A = this chain, B = another copy of it.
Amino acid sequence: MAKRVSCGLDFVSPADITNALQIATESKYDFAALPIAHPRHKRDFSGNSQARRLTAFTRADLILNSSDWSTLIVGKISPHVDLDHEDKLLRQESEKVLEQELSFAGHLGLPAVLVPLRKNNTNFARFLHNKVLSSPLNQARYHVWLHLPMISPKIEASQFERDVDEEEVDDTWHWWNNFRITANFEKKLSLALELTADLPDAEDIDRWLGEPIKCLVVPTHLFMTNKKGFPVLPKSHQVAIRQFLRQKTQILITGAQRHQHYKHYQQYIEHLWQVGYESDPVMQFAQGYEDFLQFPLQPLMDNLESQTYEVFEKDPVKYTEYQRAMYLAILDKVPLEEKDTKVITLMVVGAGRGPLVRAALTAAEKADRRIRVYAVEKNPNAIVTLQCLADEEWGDRVTIVSCDMRDWDAPEKADILVSELLGSFGDNELSPECLDGAQKFLKDDGISIPSSYTSFLGPIQSSKLFNEVRSCRERDKPYFTSFEMSYVVHFRNRTELADPQALFTFTHPNREMPIDNSRYEVRHFPIKCDSMLHGFAGYFETVLYKDVMLSINPATHSPGMFSWFPVLFPIQNPISLKKGDVLEIHFWRCVNRTHVWYEWCVTKPLGSAIHNPLGRSHNIGL
């Protein structure tokens, strides 16, 4: 089986860099972390600038070839660097040291630089942010890994006598949060999080999982020794590491060699990954799509492509459940005593390339009842496929209708109306508007499958997604545009800040007079932990018929179903939240003659401007 984990070995102060690299590669590590400044060279920045000795602070770049520097070495900044020291001279010396070492890292073409993150870091954040910003586009642009412990040494030392006020100050997540706010969430600045002997509780680990952690630092002193003399980690640490490995986090082993050989640590980490890797159809299907922003489909305005149909027809769960719902509905419509005399009418509106037609026929066979099927589809390309299936397979049980369901003048009324018009947020592909139009050819006692659907909304934190949205900015559009869109995303690097709640519900057939599909709801979310709000995740649940449901809401997700990824509603300015805050959000579904769109704003504990007013950045065409 292929090697999956990228694992590095940290050297505190190697006398010989080629030797260190040899140890790392022979032990099957993927990279080595090495100090940028040579430990034996003490630099002197005091006095006036002409006196600086700039030449000999480190090894020459000729020791390794440039491809080794750029793939095998992570540079470490001198640990005494402190840009927020109270003493101005020490602070300025730190700036010069950091400047010099980063400059040399750039010169070498290192892929990443490891820098210790301290409690006070505003000046440091500014410096790094500006450094990354000033780096010209085509130069070697290292990532900065901010190295900090999962629990601060102070909190670890005083588990039983914590001061509440101190807690925030010593919560290392706050160190990071302060840093990134000042550094404007710059995506080249990410984290190297060090596992500690004590682990924080599950919610705090969850929060770290939503942060841009590029590397998990694992000290060798955390390893115990098993009967055979090999290093093993406590169960709790195994669980934590597996969670990070699922996020594709790299591992860096640090500290003295406390067991026979350095290679055993790498082998153990690799073992954790292999054991933890479970085959999961959703995970496989989503491979490569993690945290990738997709624009929602507009199937009403655009015609879907063949490949899109193909992908969605493969869902192992969705059509089975539709079939079960139709089976129950058919049985309810035709009592046993009429099974040979009564023929009911089932219409599939938006039939695509026919998966629901096929499921309907199968359901009728299983129920031992007789049905007549109409397959209505507006996409002329899909009609070709349907007609072919009718001719070759379905025969006269199925009538193909090439027409927009809203315009169709049906020759008779249906007993059962079946559709699959739901988007990731339920109503966001305009299922309500389509079915309201189609129900004119549903009998008064007819059944709609689905019979109802509800969208769900939950607040999330994710620097990763925030940066993805920010970088979606299009040249000619105003800067806020990308924050007023919704996106379909397979979430990975994010934290849920509260449980999702039901938002908008639609029921079919809709006998309201007049029908009003606009909605306006306010929701309140109790926040689980100190955090940054970056937006909202949207999901849906639908009742197909009676107890037959489909769901992408995490709490009730249909196992194995991959047809829908969740939807993301971002907010433009991240909002700081405290544990226990009640977040209030207002959400509108707006409808006019030609379009449907959403608007949203946060009102508590802090307000945001209204997003997507008048659908200016995003709307869905009717």
Contact = CB atoms under 8 A, between A and B. Distances in A.
Given A48-B514, A614-B133, A609 B184 contact: yes
A606 interface: yes
A184 B123 contact: no
Contacts of A464: none
Interface in A173-187: 177-178, 181-185
Contacts of A125: 610
Interface in A526-583: 573, 576
A130 B588 CA distance: 13
A586 interface: yes
A599 interface: yes
Interface string A117-129: 0000011011001
Nearest to A604: B178
A462 B270 CA distance: 57
A209 B482 CA distance: 36
A260 interface: no
Contacts of A606: 181, 576, 606
B183 A610 contact: yes
A603 B182 contact: yes
Contact of A608 (B133, B181, B522): B181
A479 interface: yes
A613 B133 contact: yes
A613 B610 CA distance: 28
Contacts of A601: 122, 126, 182
Categorize the interface residue count of chain A.
Answer: 35 or more
A520 interface: yes
A610 B88 CA distance: 20
A89 to B, nearest CB: 10
B129 A184 contact: no
Interface string A74-99: 00000000000000100110000000
A39 interface: no
Given A514-B49, A573-B573, A126 B607 contact: no
Contacts of A513: 48
A236 interface: no
Contacts of A478: 479
A287 interface: no
Interface string A269-281: 0000000000000
A134 interface: yes
B182 A609 contact: yes
Nearest to A49: B514
9 contacts: A48-B513, A122-B601, A123-B588, A130-B610, A181-B608, A182-B607, A182-B608, A182-B610, A478-B479
- 5 closest Cβ contacts across the A-B interface? A181-B607, A184-B609, A479-B479, A130-B613, A573-B573
Interface of A: 48-49, 88, 91-92, 122-123, 125-126, 129-130, 133-134, 177-178, 181-185, 478-479, 513-514, 516, 520, 522, 573, 576, 586, 588, 599, 601, 603, 605-610, 613-614, 616
